[in-house]
Amino acid sequence: MKTKMKTKVILLLILILSIEILSACGQEGKRAGKEDRKTESREITVATNSESGGLDPSGMIAITYLAYSVTSLDELLTFDSNGAIEYRAATSYEVNDDATKWTFHLRKDAKWSDGSAVTAKDFMNTITRSLDPACGNGYSNYLFPIQNAEAIYNGEKEIGELGVKALDDYTLEFTLSTPCVYFLDLLRLPVYTPSCARYADAVGSGWDTNPKTSLSNGPFYLSEYVSGQYFTVKKNPYYWNSEKVVLDKITYRFFDDQQSMATAYATGEVDIATSLPANIMEEYEGKEDLQVTDNIATRYIYPNLEVEALKDVRVRKAINLAINREELCEIVGKDTESTVNFIAKYMKNKETGNSYVDEAERPFTENVEEARKLLVEAGYPDGEGFPTLQYKYPSLEQDADTAQVIQQQLKKNLNIDIELQAQELQVNYAERRAGDFELCRMNWTADFADPYTYLSMLLSNSTYNCSGIRDEKYDAIVAASDVEQDTTKRSRLIHEAEQLAVGEQFYIIPLYTTKSCNLIRPTIHNITQIQASGALEYRYATME
Amino acid sequence: MGKYIVKRIGIGFITIFMLLTITFFLTRWMPGNPFQSENISENVLQALEKEYGLDKPLLTQYGTYLCHFLQGNLGYSYKKPGVAVNEVIGRTFPQTMLLGSLAVMTALLCGMGIGFLHAKTSQRWVSRACLLLECIGMGIPNFMIALVLLLIFGVQWRLLPTVGLNSPAHFILPVLSLAIYPMATIARYTYRNVSVELKREYVTFARMKGVKTPVILYRHVLRNVFPQILNYLGPTIAFLLTGSFVVESIYTIPGLGREFVNAISNRDYTMIMGLTVFMGVLVIGIQIIIDIINAWLDPRVRLSFEEK
């Protein structure tokens, strides 16, 4: 009898629990659905790649920050689609004759999202914090044109000697060590973006993802951050230009893979999904939702020069010549276009209006025969004795396909083995930065509209140079191009530097440039494209 | 009964201890393990050194590791600087647990319901329908079910959300995807056992006494069938509570299963170690609870122990 009772009690408990949960599910589901519909009109949900890096402009910058900053942070100034200056946090600037002293006058009506004023100190806050190597910011080296910045970064000078001064609350003065012709282009980089001095104390303290302390000076502010799932930004009522901002809320949802993004678009759970796989182009062909944009980007592979076999320029050249990029792009998808250049295929020369790549000679031409000969010269006839190299790449469809094609091609053409290792995006970034790889996939989307965004990556002192490149000749050419005020001469130097790095020393293995296959609800308008990177911007988006 | 519980818990502790020991030494002996790597950032190295006392002898390190475990500290990720294993578990386990428990309950209730119906029905089409459900559920892998459900309810009809776990409605499809296989298995178990029990003499006797069928089923048959289902339920609960990589990936759920598979593909040894230990403790804990319930319900189990 006792056992009977026990059984009853257990069964009853299970039954009650499940009924309660199921009924709760139903009710809350209905409630949530209603709320969604009520506010549907002014909210959009954007699919973004899996969480990587934080939101601190001085911290580790990756996709999450870039998505956030585009809508939430105002840089001093930027360039519109016609290449004209668009003032944001600043209202004007002056520069001296030799382009070494730049003074910016800040907008007096600019406010943080808590209503307090944005001052020159907030800009200084990001800059000084970024000059600590421990912060792990990949953009620190773009502060190096500033007087003493590099010495401070290397611990040779005190922060007080930095060539940036807040003359008063609304005047910011930069003193450069040498003239820098593209200085205004640099201003859209994270390290030149403000972070509120009252809260943004240190990288990794968590202020950046906490909505209470993570203030913004742009059209939207952070209202919620759920690690691993999503973050939301709401319209900033204190924004100086808030009249033009139509949307009330944007939710950025993290996705591990691109196919899930496309599915989420199909089910109506996201309104915008970018960088989707190429098959989407066929699926949505002729539909209004599909918008294909050119990325100003180059996908390439870093061979680590610390690896014995890869120290030999003949080996690097052989690998470069043995890859059939046309075939690769055909297999990987319609959203790729082969390239043998480092500077992105669609980056335009502001002076001539042509793309940089078209103005210069091809750095090299693929040639399997020659590649084999080079490998023999390097002491690996028919791949004999060549070590198995490990190739690390993020586990995204496009990169996984690319990795397999390259593995096959190198096996077929050079008889060498590549071991594939797919990783989470965040881990891939971290390991690349730490130099912990043999071959590593890299994608570089232009941060600003000048080829320096590419060339600077391979400089000996670049924080993004993670493959051990130390080339004085290259550094000298790039340095010369920095100060060259004559645009024709400067272009020549830029081409010379690229030729040296890609066509002579083969420091990288360029693969292709990408098109971004985007799905956007036809009811959403006024999405603009950032001129420098080709990325989409939603700050002034409207809805029908 | 008390003795049985003490013994069962004792065995559990020994198993956990062995799991800890094996995991600890395996990660130390693994080729290219984090503790030998040269390419490791200064911050992580310092954290690791502090955490594991790397400068000390192996046995001391092992002692420290056990101490940390007893304090509930499972260590730090070696690939994601500054991320603690506890933090990852804290973020992902609640979702996985909720999803898993709902799946277990759905599987148990629906499975037993279908099983009883199948065994008891006299109508041929009901019997066939039940059989079809059981076969489909057991024959189709959960990733396929997850995709088909997503396609039908998410993409075609747009009835249910498919991304994340924001509202209760978000739970329906992933829970179904996880529950269908165990549900079919439980239905099969129930059907088979109930059919056998119904032919037993005590049922005939009860019928002769004029006891109504529902009462026979509920009061007599269920009592004999349930312990057998419970045995199947143990591993199933453990499986569902440790998360499913496939279902979590398809429905973009930041759960434990996905984190574990990611840790493996990232070769994040300390994370793998921490998660393995956590899942191990979970599985062992669940099994102990199931065993104790089993002994409580079924006198044969505890008597067999007491006789010894």
ipTM for this prediction: 0.73
How many domains does the structure of chain B reveal? 2
The token pair that represents B58 in the structure block? 């192996």
With CA atoms as reference, report the closest residue to A428 among A465, A391, A389, A387. A391
Does B249 share its domain with B126? Answer: yes
Answer whether residue A28 shows pLDDT above 50. no
Give the per-residue pLDDT at A5.
Answer: 53
What is the distance between the alpha carbons of residues B210 and B306, in angstroms, rounded to a whole number? 38
Does A203 share its domain with A324? Answer: no
The token pair that represents A473 in the structure block? 């000749």
Contact A427 B39 (CB under 8 A): no
In the numeric block, the tokens 């955490």 are attached to B51
> Tens-of-pLDDT digits for all 308 residues of chain B?
788 889 889 999 999 999 999 988 887 776 655 555 544 555 556 666 666 566 677 888 888 888 888 898 888 887 777 788 998 999 899 989 999 999 999 999 999 999 999 998 889 999 999 999 999 999 998 889 999 999 999 888 889 988 888 889 999 999 999 999 999 999 999 999 999 998 999 999 998 998 888 888 888 888 888 888 888 888 899 889 888 888 998 898 889 998 898 888 888 888 888 999 999 999 999 989 988 888 887 777 777 766 55
Domain residue limits at A430: 297-515
Does A100 share its domain with A247? Answer: yes
Average pLDDT for chain A: 89
Is pTM beyond 0.95? Reply is: no
Domain residue limits at B292: 1-84+267-308
A262 is a domain residue: no
In the numeric block, the tokens 């008597």 are attached to B303
Does A371 share its domain with A233? Answer: no
Nearest 5 degrees, angle CA A23-CA A28-CA A34? 135
Give the per-residue pLDDT at B130.
Answer: 93
Shortest Cα–Cα distance, A472 to chain B (Å): 25
User: Is the CB of residue A228 less than 8 Å away from at least one CB of chain B?
Assistant: yes
User: Is the CB of residue A15 less than 8 Å away from at least one CB of chain B?
Assistant: yes
Which of A255, A288, A320 is a domain's end point?
A255
What is the distance between the alpha carbons of residues A324 and A327, in angstroms, rounded to a whole number? 6
B262 is a domain residue: no
Which of A197, A230, A255 is a domain's end point?
A255
Does A238 share its domain with A102? Answer: yes
Give the per-residue pLDDT at A273.
Answer: 95
A370: domain CATH number is 3.10.105.10
Chain A residues with CB inside 8 Å of B296's CB?
6
A306 alpha-carbon distance from chain centroid: 26
B63 CB-side CA count, 13 A: 5
Does A242 share its domain with A324? Answer: no
With CA atoms as reference, report the closest residue to B122 among B185, B195, B184. B195
Answer whether residue A143 shows pLDDT above 80. yes
Q: Which residues of B98-130 are buried (b: 16+ CB within 10 A; e: fewer)?
A: bbbbbbbbbbbbbbbebbbbbbbeeeeeebeeb
> Nearest-CA residue of chain B relative to A35?
B167
B77 is a domain residue: yes
Q: Which residues of A396-406 are buried (b: 16+ CB within 10 A; e: fewer)?
A: bbbbbbbbebb
The token pair that represents A269 in the structure block? 């759970």
Does B43 share its domain with B106? Answer: no
Which of B36, B106, B153, B163 to mutate to probe the A interface, most A CBs <10 Å? B163
Shortest Cα–Cα distance, A26 to chain B (Å): 7
Chain A residues with CB inside 8 Å of B167's CB?
28-29, 32-33
B102: domain CATH number is 1.10.3720.10
What region, left, alpha or beta, does residue A379 occupy, with left being phi > 0 and alpha being psi -120 to 50 degrees?
Answer: left
B164 is a domain residue: yes
Contact B109 A15 (CB under 8 A): yes
B89 is a domain residue: no
B14 is a domain residue: yes
How many domains does the structure of chain A reveal? 2
Does B155 share its domain with B45? Answer: no
